Amino acid sequence: MAFVVGEDCIKCKHTDCVEVCPVDCFYEGPNFLVIHPDECIDCALCEPECPIDAIYSEDELPADQENFRELNAELAEVWPNITEKKMPCQTTRIGKESPTN
Ligand code: SF4
Ligand code: SF4
């Protein structure tokens, strides 16, 4: 099992979450982050760090965000790794696209 970044992250990207991940399994796209499910050790440290509760345990993912399970797995293979927090002003104004664009 792994943790999954859901759709609310598309509007945020404060990246508080990446600072606490002991295995650096966050990956950064143009408008949100994803977690690599094979690298996540299910420690739950990132979940309380997200100010808008966009991170879910896989088994608690809302039904209308089931597609994010697959998206996290697929996009973590192609997006670059992110391990340090970024300032929100660098990232928050590009978040209106669909996650697959
Ligand atoms: S803190 Fe939450 S909303 Fe912000 S980048 Fe991390 S997962 Fe996304
Ligand atoms: S649950 Fe732990 S290992 Fe998985 S993404 Fe969050 S901080 Fe990283």
Q: What is the pLDDT of residues 12-42, one digit of tens each?
A: 768 999 999 999 999 999 999 999 999 999 9
Domain boundaries, the chain: 3-76
* In CATH, 3-76 is 3.30.70.20: yes
Hey, which of 21, 83, 85 would you mutate to test ligand 2's pocket, going by the most ligand atoms within 8 Å of its Cβ? Answer: 21
Pocket of ligand 2 (CB under 6 A): 3, 20-21, 23, 25, 35, 40-46
Q: Whose CA is nearest to atom 8 of ligand 1?
A: 9
Q: What is the pLDDT of residue 91?
A: 46
E-strand spans in the chain? 3-5, 26-28, 33-35, 55-57
Instruction: Please determine, for residue 73, whether its predicted confidence score (pLDDT) is greater than 80.
Output: yes
Asked if residue 10 has its Cβ within 6 Å of ligand 1, the reply is no
Question: How many other CB atoms are found less than 10 A from the CB of residue 30?
Answer: 12
